[in-house]
Amino acid sequence: MHLAVDGYGADPNALRDEDLILRFLDTYPDEIGMTKIIPPQVYTYHGKKAEDWGVSGFVLIAESHISVHTFPDRGHVNIDVFSCKPFDVSESLDSVRTTFSLTRTDVWTLDRGLEYSSARQAYSSMVRERVGLVAKASEGDG
Amino acid sequence: MHLAVDGYGADPNALRDEDLILRFLDTYPDEIGMTKIIPPQVYTYHGKKAEDWGVSGFVLIAESHISVHTFPDRGHVNIDVFSCKPFDVSESLDSVRTTFSLTRTDVWTLDRGLEYSSARQAYSSMVRERVGLVAKASEGDG
C-alpha cells in the first residue's frame, strides 16, 4: 500500500521544525508496524525563490519508505507512506493530520506490488477532504 | 507530478546491482531537469524470508525525491519520481524501463500540490502496460 497525502493549512511552525519532522520519521514506522533499515534523515532546502524553501526528510523501511516535504510559507506538506505490508490507512492519516495540524488533505492510496498481493485487480483511489466538513456531493446536497 | 512505477520481469542482475542503482539515482535527476540536494544513497536489505531482500535507494531533489526499491528474486522493482516541477512522464518511463529491462509496468501519475498548479481539478491515473503488447480490451478483441 502506498498512501500519498498532500496537506494544506498546516502549522508553519511544525513545517519548519527539523526536530519535529525527524521525530515523526523516527517514531511513525514503529507506530504502524514497520521496520526502519536506516535512521531517518532531514534537510532544510532553500530554492531560488524566497518562498521555495522547506524541510525534506526520508526514512527507509524494509523495502519501502516514508517521506516528508514541507513548504512552511505555504502551509503545505507532501507525505508518502509506502510499505509492502498492509497498514491502517485511517490511523496513518490521523497521525499525519495531527502532527502537522492539517485543515485539508488530498489523499491517494495506491495498491502497489499487485503480483504479490491477494488483490488481483489494480486500483487507485483519490479523496479530497476538508477537516470538519462532510462531503455529500453524491447525495445532492450541493 | 508524481510518477509511481511498479516494474515486473526485470533483469535480476540490474536489481541486485548497487552501483547501477546509485548511478541511476545520480544521473536521472539531471536527465529530467531536477536538482539534487544531497547525493543519492543506496542500501541492500535482507528480510526474514530468504526472497525478501533487495536494494533500496533514494535521492532528495529540490522539495521532492526519487526512490527505487528492488526485489531481485522476483524480478520486481518499485520506482517513484516525485517532483514539484512538471517533467516528461513518457521519457522518464522509457529511461526506467531501459535501466531495469522491464517487460511489464503498472504506472500511476498523481498530480500533487494542486493548489500551486495550473490544473485545479485533482486527478490521478493508472495504466497497466505490457511491453510489446497493445491492450485492446475496450475494442472487444478478447
- What pLDDT tens digit does each residue of chain B (142 aa) get? 899 999 999 999 999 999 999 999 999 998 888 889 999 999 999 988 887 899 999 999 987 999 999 999 999 999 999 998 888 889 899 999 999 999 999 999 998 876 654 443 444 556 655 443 333 222 333 3
Burial of A35 (0-12, 13-18, 19+ CB in 10 A): middle
**Residue B2 designated active-site:** no
Contacts of A138 (CB under 8 A, 6+ apart): none
Nearest CA among A54, A4, A59 for reference residue A31: A59
pLDDT in tens, A103-138: 999 999 998 876 654 443 444 556 655 443 333 222
Residue A32's nearest CA partner among A91, A99, A80 is A91
* Of A69, A76, A92, A95, catalytic: A69
Question: Cβ of B106 and A116 within 8 Å?
Answer: no
Q: Name which residue leads in pLDDT, B114 or A91.
A: A91
Report yes or no: A72 at the B interface, CB cutoff 8 Å. no
Q: The pTM is what? A: 0.83
- The CATH architecture of the domain made up of B2-139 is 4-Layer Sandwich (3.60)
Q: Return the domain boundaries, chain A.
A: 2-135
Q: What is the pLDDT of residues A15-24, one digit of tens each?
A: 999 999 999 9
CATH superfamily of A2-135: S-adenosylmethionine decarboxylase (3.60.90.10)
Q: Nearest-CA distance from B18 to chain A in Å?
A: 14
User: Which residues in chain A have Cβ-Cβ distances shorter than 8 Å to B126?
Assistant: 110, 122-124
Is B117 one of the catalytic residues? no
ipTM at complex level: 0.82
**For B75, which residue in chain A has the nearest alpha carbon?**
A115
